[in-house]
Amino acid sequence: MISASSYKKGLALLLPWAAVVAIWTLVHYSGLVKPTLVPTPAQVTVRFWQLLSNGSLPLDMLISSRRVLTGVALGTLLAVPTGFLLGWYKSVHFFADPLVNFFRALPPIALIPLVVVYFGIGETAKVVVLFYAAFFSGVIVMYEGISQISPIYIRVARTLGATDGEIFRRVIVPLSLPHILTAVRVELGVVWATLVASELIAAQNGLGALIQNASAFFQLDVIYLGIICIGLIALAMDLTLRKIARRFLNWQERISS
Amino acid sequence: MTAPNRIVFDHVSVSFRTESGTLPVVDDVSFTVKDREFVSLVGPSGCGKTTMLNILAGFVLPTSGSVTLDGAPIAGPSPDRGVIFQEYGVFPWLTVEANIEFGLRLRANLKSVTERTNVCDRYLKLMGLSEFRKAYPRTLSGGMRQRLALARAYAVAPQFLLMDEPFGALDAQTRTAMQDLLLEVLQKEGKTVVMITHSVEEAIYLSSRVVVVSARPSRVRCIVEIPFPYPRTESLHEKPEFLQLRSRIRDLVMLEYAAQEQQTRDAAPH
Ligand SMILES: Nc1ncnc2c1ncn2[C@@H]1O[C@H](COP(=O)(O)OP(=O)(O)OP(=O)(O)O)[C@@H](O)[C@H]1O
Ligand SMILES: [Mg+2]
Question: Interface pTM (ipTM) of the complex?
Answer: 0.89
Residue A87 and residue A93: Cα distance in Å, rounded?
7
Q: How many domains does chain A have?
A: 1
Q: Any idea which ligand is nearest the CA of B213? A: 1
Q: Which DSSP string do the residues of B181-233 spell out, in sequence order? A: HHHHHHHHS--EEEEE-S-HHHHHHH-SEEEEE-SSSB-EEEEEE--PPSS--
Q: Which of A255, A174, A210, A178 is nearest to A64 (CA)?
A: A210
Interface contact B91-A171, CB threshold 8 A: yes
B93/A155 touch (CB, cutoff 8 Å), yes or no: no
CA of B77 to the centre of ligand 2 (A): 18
Tens of pLDDT along chain A (257 residues) come to: 556 778 888 888 889 999 999 999 998 888 888 888 889 899 999 999 999 999 999 999 999 999 999 999 999 999 999 999 888 888 888 888 899 889 988 888 888 899 999 998 889 999 999 999 999 999 999 998 988 889 999 999 999 999 999 999 999 999 999 999 999 999 999 999 999 888 888 778 899 999 999 999 999 999 999 999 999 999 999 999 999 888 888 888 765 44
How far is A62 from A53, CA to CA, in rounded Å?
Answer: 15
Phi, psi of B8, rounded to the nearest 5 degrees: -130, 115
- Distance (Å, rounded) from C-alpha A165 to C-alpha B224? 44
Contact state of A159 with B57 under an 8 Å Cβ cutoff? yes
Long-range contacts of A149-154 (CB under 8 A, 24+ apart): A149/A87, A149/A175, A149/A176, A150/B89, A152/B85, A152/B87, A152/B89, A153/B89, A153/B91
- The boundaries of the domain holding residue A101 are 40-248
Pick among B102, B119, B160 to test the A interface (most A CBs inside 10 A): B102
**Phi, then psi, of A10 in degrees rounded to 5:** -60, -40
Please tell me whether residue B6 adopts helix, strand or coil conformation: strand
Distance of CA B39 from the midpoint of ligand 1 (Å): 20
CB–CB contacts below 8 A, A to B? 77
CA distance B55 to B170: 26
Mean pLDDT, chain B, integer: 91
The mean pLDDT of B73-98, rounded to a whole number, is 93
In a domain, A25, yes or no: no
List the CATH number of the domain containing A131.
1.10.3720.10
Q: Quick check: is A10 in a domain?
A: no
> Which listed ligand is nearest to B55 at the C-alpha?
1
Distance CA B85, CA B146 (A): 10
Averaged pLDDT, B98-127? 92
Say yes or no for a CB contact (<8 Å) between A152 and B78: no
How far is A239 from B62, CA to CA, in rounded Å?
53
Query: Is residue A15 domain-resident?
Result: no
Give the pLDDT confidence score for residue B2 in this predicted structure.
66
Test B77 with A174 for CB contact under 8 angstroms.
no
Instruction: Report the pLDDT value the prediction gives residue B270, as an integer from 0 to 100.
Output: 59
Closest CA–CA distance from residue A257 to any residue of chain B (Å)? 13
Nearest CA to ligand 1 atom 4: B16
Interface test with A, best of B60, B83, B91, B119 (most A CBs within 10 A): B91
Residue A192 included in any domain: yes
Asked if pLDDT for residue B127 goes beyond 90, the answer is no
pLDDT confidence of residue B5: 86
Asked if the structure places residue A19 within a domain, the reply is no
Q: Which residues line ligand 1 (CB under 6 A)?
A: B 16, 18, 23, 25, 45-51
| Cα(B165)–Cα(B84) distance, integer angstroms | 8
**A148 falls within a domain:** yes
**CB distance B218 to B29 below 8 Å:** yes
Q: Which of A44, A18, A45, A23 minimizes the C-alpha distance to A33?
A: A23
Q: What's the mean pLDDT in B226-254?
A: 93
Contact A146, A93 (CB under 8 A): no
CA-CA-CA-CA torsion sign (A56, A57, A62, A63): positive
Please tell me the predicted confidence (pLDDT) of residue B4: 85
> Which of B14, B18, B23, B25 has most ligand 1 atoms within 8 Å of CB, for mutation?
B25
SS3 B255: helix
User: For the whole model, what pTM was predicted?
Assistant: 0.84
Q: Which residues of chain A neighbour B103 with C-beta distances below 8 Å?
A: 160-161
Residues of A in contact with B106 (CB under 8 A): 157, 160-163, 166, 170
Distance CA A41, CA B61 (A): 72
| CA angle (B187 as vertex; B184, B190 as ends), nearest 5 | 130
For residue A257, the model assigns a pLDDT of: 42
Identify whether A78 is part of a domain: yes
Nearest Cα to Cα of residue A242 among A189, A172, A175 = A189
Which residue of B94, B103, B136 is in closest CB contact with A160? B103
pLDDT of residue A255: 56
Measured CA angle at A58 (ends A56, A60), to 5 deg: 65
Which residues of B fall within a CB distance of 8 Å from A249? 93
CA-nearest residue for atom 16, ligand 1, is B48
- Residues B214-222, mean pLDDT to the nearest whole number: 90
Is residue A216 situated within a structural domain? yes
pLDDT of residue A7: 84
- Rounded Cα–Cα distance for residues B136 and A251 (Å): 6
